Chain A
Amino acid sequence: MTSPSPPPPSPPSSAGEEAEAAHINRLPDELLLLIFTKLNNASSLCVCNLVSKRFSAVVHQTPSIFLAFPHRQSNDRNENLPKKLFNYLSKSFFRKPPPNKFDGALFQSAVDSLKHFRNVRDIRIELPSFQQDDSIVKWHAEFGRDLNLCVILFATSLHHNNQTNTSIHHQNQSQNQNQNPDTLLTNQLLQSRIASANQCFREATWRQHVLRHVVENHRETLDAAEIRDSSKKGQVVMKGKEQLRDLLDPDVKLPASGYGKLWHVQMLRLPESGRVLQGVTVVAIRRSGENEEEHEDVGVKHLMMKKGCENEMEEDFLLWEVLSHIFQNHAPSRTLNINVNRR
């Protein structure tokens, strides 16, 4: 893309060059904005922002932004950067940033740079996955005035019914191929899955803090905001003005206590997608206020109804399919008491 289009047969005159140079300058803002809208990616938009003053003005009108972080292999510069900035993002009960080489300060500056996009209606953020547990298949968290819950799906193995070897076998490196996967809910498995579920829940809460920060900067324009991880396993979605308003409302406090339930099924055959899951555990964790009565299903059915209405099932189809199957046919095996503040 470095060479310009072939010049006309006559030797290039200066007038011709001027016409070429004027090319994008006469491109209407409308088209430039359409190109930026298609570009979508925050880091590319930041590059365009630097191109020229006119580009800046148009870039900042982009209505929809996708921020993948870190966007390139950021070097090991995180050691030197102050963690202070990051803590500002997570100032309340969740104090410790997620593990790994996550550069909180740089992420903060990336999130902050979004505030220049004055007309943005839709922000999607993608982060590396912080979960170490390979048996996590999907998780989904939802926060709001009436619903505060996180659902996590685990499976020891996952494959298609009719394809044995070309199955979408779950990437479980620690698992010996020749051994039958242990699908029984042993005490050890129970403990490790509860611990991972709690980790997911804390990560969901941290993401919610990040989203609050994002929404604060765009309260007039934003319709939807979400954070997912690059492995596409977990997502936190905030959609609709009402939910976004709740997120900022200081009166809507997150209850400090909660409860959870755990379902375990050794083998689950899903008729619709033709998938077979083994060693399936579903954990649902709900924050609840003092006066709230416990739900048999922790409110997952409410969540599913809501998602069904919004026609969002496709994204997490497997999760919803498992949930509807489990809730129809199985009772919870454990009830968990959760102190959501404890690490």
Chain B
Amino acid sequence: MSKKTLTLMSKDKQLFNIEEHLAVQSVTIRNMVKEDGASSVIPLPRVDSETLALVIEYLNRQQAPEEDEDYVKKFVDERGEIPTLLELAQAALDLDIKKLMDAACMKVADLIKDFTLEEVREALRIENDRTPEEEKAIRDEFQWAF
């Protein structure tokens, strides 16, 4: 029996094939398949091709259930760059793949947990939108943490 294949399309219009029984680990895809058989291409307008390739790699993993947790951890560990992890988490959210989303967010949290304020801003590329006075007031209140 030949396995049914689905085609996913990234934001930049690249196509990726994946066997349906693996793709339905994504709740979003599972629901689409249930509704209309999802015979045509499934567009993922917020996921770029690099990230989608990673997601496909993740979905294609062939791990025994008891090793799966370690695999997922290792999978995100190897993509230890914060921007990649955030893209991955975003894709996992859109596709509703809870395990991958949890693991990616956990890894980001691990990476930033010992960062100073400036390091967090730099790593996540956030601009400070408070005045020095506002910032000082908060710093004083949370003095114990700094």
A→B interface (CB under 8 Å): 1-2, 4-5, 20-21, 23-25, 27-28, 30-31, 34-44, 46-55, 69-71, 74, 106-107, 109-110, 113
Tell me the complex Cα distance, A49–B144, Å.
14
CA A36 to CA B109, docked complex, whole Å: 7
Query: CB-CB < 8 A to A46: which residues of B?
Result: 142, 145-146
User: Given known contacts A24-B126, A52-B129, A53-B130, is B144 in contact with A47 (CB within 8 Å)?
Assistant: no
Q: Give bound CA distance, A49 to B126, whole Å.
A: 12
Residues in A with CB closer than 8 Å to B86 are: 23-24, 27, 31
B83 touches A23 (CB 8 A): yes
Beta-carbon contact of A110 and B125 below 8 Å: no
Contact B125 A71 (CB under 8 A): no
Task: Find chain A residues with CB under 8 A from B111 CB.
Answer: 1
* A-B contact list, 20 entries, CB within 8 Å: A23-B83, A24-B125, A25-B126, A31-B101, A35-B109, A36-B109, A40-B109, A46-B145, A47-B146, A48-B112, A50-B138, A51-B128, A52-B126, A52-B128, A53-B130, A55-B126, A106-B143, A109-B143, A110-B144, A113-B145
Given known pairs A49-B142, A50-B139, A110-B144, the reply for A28 and B93 (CB within 8 Å) is: yes
Find out whether the CB atom of A38 lies under 8 angstroms from the CB atom of B117. no
Chain A residues, CB < 8 A from B138 = 49-50
Contact with A along B78-121 (1 / 0, CB 8 A): 00011110100110010000000110011011111111110111
Q: Which residue on B lies nearest to A74, using beta carbons? A: B144
B44 to chain A, nearest CB (A): 16
- The 8 Å CB contact of B145, one of A5, A20, A35, A42, is A42
Residues of chain A contacted by B119 (CB below 8 angstroms): 1-2
Per a CB cutoff under 8 Å, which of A40, A43, A52 touches B130?
A: A52
State whether the Cβ of B57 lies closer than 8 Å to any Cβ in chain A: no
Chain A nearest CB: distance from B20 CB in Å?
27
Given contacts A35-B108, A53-B129, A109-B144, 17 further A-B contacts (CB under 8 A): A1-B119, A2-B123, A23-B83, A23-B125, A31-B90, A35-B105, A36-B109, A38-B108, A41-B113, A43-B145, A44-B113, A48-B112, A49-B142, A52-B130, A71-B144, A106-B143, A109-B143
Given known pairs A1-B115, A24-B126, A53-B130, the reply for A47 and B101 (CB within 8 Å) is no
Asked, given contacts A23-B125, A24-B126, A50-B138, whether A71 binds B145 with beta carbons under 8 Å apart, the answer is yes
Measured as residues with beta carbon below 8 angstroms from the partner, the interface class of chain B is: 35 or more
* Proximity bits, B5-40, A CB within 8 Å = 1, else 0: 000000000000000000000000000000000000
B67 contacts the other chain (CB 8 A): no
Pick the contact of B144 from A1, A21, A36, A106 — CB < 8 Å?
Answer: A106
Q: B116's contact among A30, A41, A47, by CB below 8 Å, is which?
A: A47
Give Cα distance in the complex from A54 to B126, angstroms: 10
A20 to B110, CA, bound (A): 22
Are A107 and B120 within 8 A (Cβ)?
A: no
Cα A132 to Cα B100 with chains together (Å): 45
Nearest-neighbor residue (CB-CB) of A106 within chain B: B144
A109 to B125, CA, bound (A): 30
Q: Which residues of A contact B120 (CB under 8 A)?
A: 47-48, 51
Within the complex, the shortest CB–CB distance from A73 to chain B, in Å, comes to 13
Taking a contact as CB atoms under 8 Å apart, the answer to whether A24 and B145 are in contact is no
Whether the pair A31, B93 counts as a contact (CB closer than 8 A) is: yes
Shortest beta-carbon distance, A34 to chain B, in Å? Answer: 4
Query: Which residues on A sit within 8 Å (CB–CB) of B68?
Result: none
User: B119, B126, B139, B144 — which one has the most chain A CB atoms within 10 A of its CB?
Assistant: B144
Question: Which of B82, B93, B142 has the largest count of A CB atoms less than 10 A from its CB?
Answer: B142
Whether B106 pairs with A1 at a CB distance below 8 angstroms is no
Q: Assess the B127–A52 pair: CB atoms within 8 A.
A: yes
Q: Given that A24-B86, A69-B144, A70-B144 are contacting pairs, would A47 and B109 also be in contact in the complex, using a CB cutoff of 8 Å?
A: no
Distance of A54 from chain B, by nearest CB (Å): 8
A26 to B49, CA, bound (A): 18
B41 at the interface (CB under 8 A from A): no
The one of B93, B112, B117 that contacts A39, using a Cβ cutoff of 8 Å: B112
How far is A36 from B141 in the complex, measured between Cα atoms in Å?
A: 20
Which of A2, A39, A52 is within 8 Å of B109, CB to CB? A39
Nearest-CB distance from A105 to chain B (Å)?
9
> In the complex, are the beta carbons of B125 and A38 less than 8 A apart?
no
Please, which residues of chain B bring their CB within 8 A of the CB of A44? 112-115
Query: In the bound complex, how far is the Cα of B73 from the Cα of A228, in angstroms?
Result: 29
Contacts of B84 in A (CB 8 A): 5
